[in-house]
Amino acid sequence: MYELIQLGDRTYYIDCSTKIGVYKINETDVCFIDSGVDGNAGERALSILDERGWSLKMIINTHSHADHTGGNNFLQTKTGCRIYARGADVSIIHDTILNTSFIYGGYPFQKLMNRFLYASPSEALEIQDSVLPDGMETINLDGHSFSMTGIRTSDGVCFVADSVMSVPALEKYHIPFIYDAKKHLETLSALETLDADIFVPSHFAPMKEVKSLAGINRDKVLEVMERVLSICEKPVGFDEMLGNLFDSYELVMDMNQYILVSSTLRSLLSYLYDMGRVSFGFDSNKLLWESS
């Protein structure tokens, strides 16, 4: 863990639970892509730079989830680096309780203020082409988050953030976190045509091609939606539907899984409703969903 691995002439990553991309702007200055899960991750990443005489000038956050922004506050305080993101994620990085509140669907109780759901706030700016180091370009990877951004470098490396899950993770958890199902499916299709020499996902090993994995991820999302439709063959309330979904995949529920999958399920229901595949009604003041 926390080993610096070179992928191209100017592109590296720090191997940790949420990979931190490292791009050399010049001989002494670098840009991070994400900052790790917490301040400790940021501190250890910074020590790797110090050992090589490199200075951190900027961080590009692929999105605002806490495991990608957890090192921001420490790194910005220590180095004065600028932090960039895109769209709504900029505001969430500044007011990180918005992420926890959104996923939970209300004001979060203290147990939810953990490092996987809540990061210390930092100052972020909207990313523009004019601030990107030479040899870097952004790629829209919307769907998992509000405005997830991938980074492609001139030496053939593409950081794809949380746009795909590994096969072992899909086999274990089955249900990825999705904010916008339509855009997530569009992103998976776009990944199948994306050109790079090596692709770096945030939570598992880099790979030379992403097309097949993108297809596997798309098939899993469609499979989950079909299970939701099957559960909704008779009118069903949300919590019963959620419990049935967990049971169908033999998953064990805890609070983090409850709120993450709850959020995804609401997003899937929105997508299915907009396509006319589910409807809802009220019975004795209970909201019930049913396949159309």
Q: Closest Cα partner for 152 from 99, 116, 190, 122? A: 190
Distance CA 64, CA 262 (A): 19
In CATH, what number is assigned to the domain containing residue 118? 3.60.15.10
Domain assignment of residue 186, yes or no: no
Q: How far apart are CA 52 and CA 116, in angstroms?
A: 30
- Confirm whether 39 is domain-assigned: yes
Domain end among 139, 169, 193: 139
Give the residue from 116, 139, 162 where a domain finishes: 139
CATH code for the domain of 252: 1.10.10
- State the total domains in the chain: 2
Spatial distance between the Cα atoms of 245 and 239, rounded to a whole number of angstroms: 10
Report the alpha-carbon angle 87-138-170, nearest 5: 85
Residue finishing a domain among 114, 139, 164 = 139
Look up the domain containing 89 and give its range: 3-139
Inside any domain, residue 251: yes
- What pLDDT, on the 0 to 100 scale, is given for residue 207? 98
pLDDT (tens digit, 9 = 90+) per residue, 68-126?
Answer: 999 999 999 999 999 999 999 999 999 999 999 999 999 999 999 999 899 999 999 99
In terms of domains, do 125 and 7 share one? yes
Rounded to 10 deg, the angle between the 181-191 and 255-274 helix axes is 90
pLDDT tens per residue, range 26-83 = 999 999 999 999 999 999 999 999 999 999 999 999 999 999 999 999 999 999 999 9
pLDDT above 90 (res 1): no
Distance CA 226, CA 220 (A): 10
Q: Which two tokens stand for residue 128?
A: 């523009």
pTM, rounded to two decimals: 0.96
To the nearest 10°, the Cα dihedral for 111, 113, 114, 118? 160
